[in-house]
Structure 1
Amino acid sequence: MTDGDVLGPVDLPARAVRPGDDAYEPARRALSVSAVVPEDRPALVVAAHDVADVAAAVRHAGRSGLPVTVRSGGHSTAFAALGDGALALDVGALDDVVVDLGSRTARVGPGVTSLALAEALDGTGLAFPVGHKAGVGFGGFLLAGGNGWNQGAWGSACESVRDAEVVLADGRQVVLDAAADPEAFAVLRGGGPVFPGVVTSFGLRLWPEPAVRRCSVHMRAAGADDLAAVGAWADSLARVVAPEVELTLVLGKADSGLGIVASVTAFGRDDRHADALLAPVTRELPRVTAAVVFSSTTMPGLLRAEPAWPESGCVAQQAWTRAGYAEVLPRLAPWLPSAPSSGSSVLVSSASYRRSAPPAPDTLHRPLGTLTVAAYAVWRPGDADAANLAWPTATLGALTDVTTGHYVGEADLRRAPGQLARCWADGGIDRVRAVRGRLDPTGVFSAPPGLTPDLLPADRPARS
């Protein structure tokens, strides 16, 4: 195979750039939200504008021997869309939103962001468990499972996916749902970067639009003892609040000591119900409380309030645990002073397991613990990049003995590839292996770190 065979643009109607083109380096860096990215150099970066572009790119990759990686919204810090010698397929322009108010459904492209869908639904009486950040793209979010807002009432976002239009490894366009191919549809909802196909649209079930109220409890902790006391308060609160209440503690370093914000968000039937849902929060506050702030907002308002850090290096690591807040928080204390910046944080939330109904039985994704703990490093590029990239994984190392799994959407698989098999319940990796072997027998789609040769179909080798 010659370079011309690999790089020839004959069957690529979409915009494609390659090493040496002026647009190549900006396109390569845009494959991740982080301004600090690995040195991986894709052979092609292809920007698809419609389904035909996607199919043409996948067929070209199959003929040329290029492994395919996919970027949807580009919010991932795991660098899954970057791969040496790969065809990196950017589907961010597939961002149509079509809402059917009568059937309470929507169809969205993979490039649609959380804020775009929330704004499209605002005031319609309908809502969706969008991601917690405005720029989260639906392709990666839903494929990973979707730890979105109001999980206690609505479940993980992938549970509200009704069907998906997919381009397979041979370029065919199919619709996957529970009837057409239940096992592939299960892996589509939780497989993240291991799913062997390119989703070009999702059909979504929508939920009644809630009244959103928030209580923010601001605290300052001097050390591990204060964190243990705050954790005991959070454990008590988590036991009594309703499933429609999302309880998240945000930890970071402060000018003096450690800063903690308990972000408690209620999704009520109306304003009165939302206020009642928040009533338990202030009955007995920790002694380190500095301020309590109540506010009313909307689903788009929640996203607009989240801080953004453009042009910054960023990376994340996540762990599930069945330990309580009181045990988890003191373990994190030694690591918080070395956080890369004031924008870096650790989020500890019980939202995903306190549910009004059990998780859907037919999705690969499901909560693997009673708390989710996620460390986010944010910093100025060029300022101790290597140490900052390592900080989230090192921080969550304090929870190694109580970690019960990982969320594939926020696992730093380059640094800890062994975590991939722990992103799903027992038998999950076997389900992934079977679906990849059936839908992508020649390995067109790139295998992420952790999907080792022994986890690939036995009759074909791993591809780089």
Structure 2
Amino acid sequence: MTDPVLAHAGPSVPPGALRPRDAGYELARRELAVSAVVPGDRPALVVRAHDAADVASAVRYAAREALPVTVRSGGHGTAFTALAHGALALDVSALDGVVVDLAARTARVGPGVTSLALAQALEGTGLAFPVGHQAGVGLGGFLLAGGNGWNQGAWGSACESVLDAEVVLADGCRVVLDAAADPEAFAVLRGAGPAFPGVVTSFRLRLWPEPVVRRRSVRMQVADATGLRAAGEWADALAAEVAPEVELTLVLAPAREGTGVVASVTAFGRDDAHTDALLEPVSGGLPASTHAVVSSATTFAGLLRAEPERTGAGCVAQQAWSRAGYADVLPRLAPGLAAALSGASSVLVSSASYRRSAPPSPDPLHRPLGPLTVAAYACWSPGEDDDANLAWPTRTLAPLADVTTGHYIGESDLRRTPERLARCWPDGGIARVRELRRRLDPAGVFRPPPGLY
């Protein structure tokens, strides 16, 4: 039987295609994942598209040659869904144009645009967008997954601010999907992540008035699960008091003695006085484990520049939604943090009220499935206990099983836990995705992620 990796060695391949024998193939293969430690899957072709025409050409070629298509849309996710043996791996990260319409308060962006690039393009315009929490987050995968972005307590998930999307379908046709053209396809596009049966080549985004951004960081050092519970009780009380425009995020990392906890309280106000008032609840009743409080004024781009990027490292993530409080969740994480193999690994626990200003209609497939999100990130030097580090996020979140209400497709290791896919959407969500795939991709051109069938 012919190996599908070797079967497509002829000259008639799509523009930008790299075959296994070509110089640059291995680098392009590895760049299909953000992690420096990647599975051994060898796509038959890696196609680096530079415009929508390249995308359409690649999809038509794949359909003719019976090659399953996988997509790297922005390239930040750690789930390795763009890698599959014998597939045509379509890398659209070079589609990174940004066009801002100040009068309409909209932007047209390519899927390869990063959060930092969009934030920088909007600096000085008086407008903003709920971009991802790290500079390198590509908007394609972020928006398809739903988009847990900045200020989502007030603005909702980022996909709710998508007005339309230009898409290449399984037959190579280019269409615009919005709430009028195809309400169900547009709804599923905003949340299906790698299960969406098409390639988005651009999004039109609603922009928001730029807020005044200020942050107060509370740094703690706790010795054990009891200390984590105390920190959680403080966070629960604060979360109940702050307004929707305040984001409360705790980052837990293994320390020499116990666990280091940084509580970042970020406020997005109308003006200086409003922002100061939003942060006022942080001033009182700090935990006894507090050793520093740092205040700063910044911008969306400044928030992103302050976040460390995980470049050149192995990395993988797992996430869980929960309706439990910080005081219940944090102590359960103690065993995993104590067993971390790398000091660069961490767990993020964040709450948002999701009281939204103007939710669009129809609503997207994506929903936050609980008021608390818990995400474990393994980050390590390649070659140092790779298998154990890859397993660490799943093991660390295992004690939350009885209080987990779902998962976020953008931060789920579906290769390791494919059963989680069905819990990435509200009840009936996986059936909606399957039905849309039957309608838009009856021949199965786009490879489904693990767990869909």
Report the TM-score, using the length of structure 2 for normalisation: 0.97
Distance in structure 1 (CA, Å) of the matches to 2:33 and 2:353 = 26
Distance 2:360 2:264 in 1: 24
Equivalent runs, 1:265-344 vs 2, <5 Å: 265-344=266-345
Q: Which residue number in structure 1 is paired with residue 92 of structure 2?
A: 91
Matches within 5 A, 1:79-158: 79-158=80-159
Question: Is there any run of 5+ residues in structure 2 with no aligned partner, and where?
Answer: none
Q: CA deviation at 1:310?
A: 1.4
Distance 1:11 1:385, change over 3 A: closer
Aligned-partner residue type, residue 230 of structure 2: A
Q: Which residue of 2 aligns with 1:455?
A: none
Q: Structure 1, residues 174-230: CA drift from partner, whole Å, max 9, x if none? A: 000000000000010000000000000000000000110000000011101111111
Query: How far off is 1:361 after superposition?
Result: 5.4
Deviation at 1:6, TM superposition (A): 3.5
Question: In the alignment, what sits opposite 2:226?
Answer: 225
In 2, the alpha carbon distance for the partners of 1:154 and 1:9 equals 49
Give 1:155's aligned amino acid: G
Give the whole-Å Cα distance in 2 for the aligned partners of 1:168 and 1:225: 53
Gaps of 5+ in 1: 453-464
1:10 maps to 2:12 = yes
Distance apart, 1:359 and its partner CA = 8.2
SS at match of 1:314: strand
Determine the structure 2 residue equivalent to 1:447: 448
Cα distance, 1:225–1:405 mapped onto 2, change above 3 Å = same
The answer to whether the 8 Å contact 2:136/2:309 transfers is no
Give the Å deviation of 1:354.
Answer: 5.3
**In the TM superposition, what is the alpha-carbon distance from 1:11 to its structure 2 partner?**
5.1
1: CA distance, partners of 2:268 / 2:49: 37
- Verify the 8 A CA contact 1:69 1:87 in the aligned structure 2: yes
Query: Which residues in structure 2 correspond to 1:349-428 (within 5 Å)?
Result: 349-351=350-352, 353=354, 355=356, 362-428=363-429
- Residues 1:230 and 1:200: Cα distance change in structure 2 (over 3 Å): same
Tell me how far 1:360 sits from its aligned partner: 6.0
**In structure 1, how many angstroms separate the alpha carbons of the residues matched to 2:358 and 2:392?**
36
Q: Which amino acid aligns with 1:440?
A: D
* Structure 2 partner of 1:239: 240
Find out whether 1:248 has 2:255 as its counterpart.
no
* Alignment partners' CA distance in 2, 1:60 and 1:352: 46
Where 1:203 maps in the other structure, the secondary structure is strand
Shift of 1:342: 2.1
Separation of aligned partners in 2, 1:153 and 1:295: 21
Residues 1-40 of structure 1: matches in 2 within 5 Å?
6-10=8-12, 12=14, 14-40=15-41
Q: Secondary structure at the match of 2:333?
A: helix
Q: 1:352 to 1:365 in 2, by over 3 A?
A: farther
The 3-state SS of whatever aligns with 1:285 is coil
- CA RMSD in angstroms comes to 1.4
Relative to the length of structure 1, the TM-score reads 0.95
1:404 to 1:9, Cα distance in 2 relative to 1, 3 A: farther
How far apart, CA to CA, are the structure 1 residues paired with 2:219 and 2:286? Answer: 10
1:457 corresponding residue in structure 2: none
Cα distance in structure 1, aligned partners of 2:197 and 2:347: 32
Distance in structure 2 (CA, Å) of the matches to 1:219 and 1:69: 43
Q: Give 1:348's aligned residue.
A: 349
Give 1:353 shift: 3.6
Would the aligned equivalents of 1:59 and 1:169 in 2 still touch at CA under 8 Å?
yes
- For the residues of structure 1 that align with 2:13 and 2:385, how far apart are their CA atoms? 43
* 1:193-212 to 2 correspondences below 5 Å: 193-212=194-213
The superposition leaves residues 242-285 of structure 1 with CA deviations (integer Å, 9 ceiling, x where unpaired) of 00000000001112211000011000111221111000012110
3-state SS, counterpart of residue 247 of structure 2: strand
Are 1:161 and 2:162 an aligned pair?
yes
Structure 2: how far apart are the matches of 1:406 and 1:366? 10
Alpha-carbon separation, structure 1, partners of 2:376 and 2:306 = 19
Q: Provide the C-alpha distance between the structure 1 equivalents of 2:11 and 2:211, rounded to a whole number of angstroms.
A: 49
